[in-house]
Structure 1
Amino acid sequence: MKNLISTFLVSIIFLGQTVSMEAQESGNTGLEGGNIGSQFDYAIRKSNTYEGFKVVKTTWLYKLKGNALDSVKALRDNIVSLETKVQDQQNEMNTLKADLKEANDRLGIATKEKDSFNFLGMLLTKSVYSTMVWTIIFILIVTLGIMVFLFKRSNTITIKTKETLGEKQEEFDAHRKWALEREQTLARELNKLKQKYKGLD
């Protein structure tokens, strides 16, 4: 809308200057030539003055009216022509914008395909693919380190458990041997006591 108004104003100024220049070149300053302003100046200058009023011929007023209407019509025709040109230029610009957008989209797709890998049905860029690969490698290294650590810790615990179990087994064997000897000693003493009581009877 702003562009249309600017174009309209420029057209009016240009048309006014063109008509003024043509009038100056032809030397015609009456009601038949020149711009509307010069025609009104001519009518005012040539009219009679009566008690502070200007007496203008009716034929001149009709002529000025006709000239003004012709000027307005010419301006309207010029505006319509300019609007048509502006609309054509706008349509051409819209077409060029659509073509440019389509070209940019195609370029973007081509660039993306060039800089991408097809991985498991997904289109990944080189940077994403590289990041993903190094992340997987890092996770595998960390997992391997954790498994080695857990294995060593489990192995150490197993060895300590076996050593503790061996010590407990030795203690148990020693205690069982001591308990067996103690039981045998008590059985002998009990036997002696029984025989002693039998002798008393």
Structure 2
Amino acid sequence: MKKLVLQTMALLCFALMANTSMAQDTAKADPSLKGQYQLMLSKSRTLDGYKLVNPTRLASFWKNVRDTITTERKDLIAAKSKITAQQKSITDLQAQIQGKDTALSSSNARLDEITFLGMAFSKGTYNTIVWTLIIILALALAILIFRAIKLAHEAKYRSDLYNEIAGEYQNYKVKSNDKEKKLARELQDERNKFEEFRSTGRK
């Protein structure tokens, strides 16, 4: 009976020492998957050309591999979601700018024609009518001059507004291009890490 108890205690002590040694080896080793793999091989014995791997070390290594793959996949999904959101935001902003450009073009088209007595005239025809009316009606001349001054002010305002929007659009394109390049680099880095991990796992 005492012999059985002594054998049991010896086995427990051996298992405890093995686990303590494994924990110390793991703490000293490279924490990367490659380092863990090298540690597992270095701590394995060779018998007839075959490596005898400790099942506990193998299970721990496999758990770390799965955890790393899961983390990499989550990071990749997050990066793709971020890129999709950025692309949607860029598309929305481009649509808004296009709408403003259309409205501005419509305003410029309206400024290129002048309506007189319900009829649309080009500026050349309008000037001819004005000079004819100057001879006939001095009062009509004053009204038309006032209207022309008002239209000139509006044209200047529209032109300044267009230049401001065009400048903002150029700045936006530069920033969007920088963001796309940055996100593309981040995605490529994640892909490179994943490919490096896959190639390491195959060895």
**TM-score, length of structure 1 as denominator length:** 0.42
**TM-score, length of structure 2 as denominator length:** 0.42
Higher relative contact order (CA 8 A, sep 6+): 2
Structure with the greater alpha carbon radius of gyration? 1
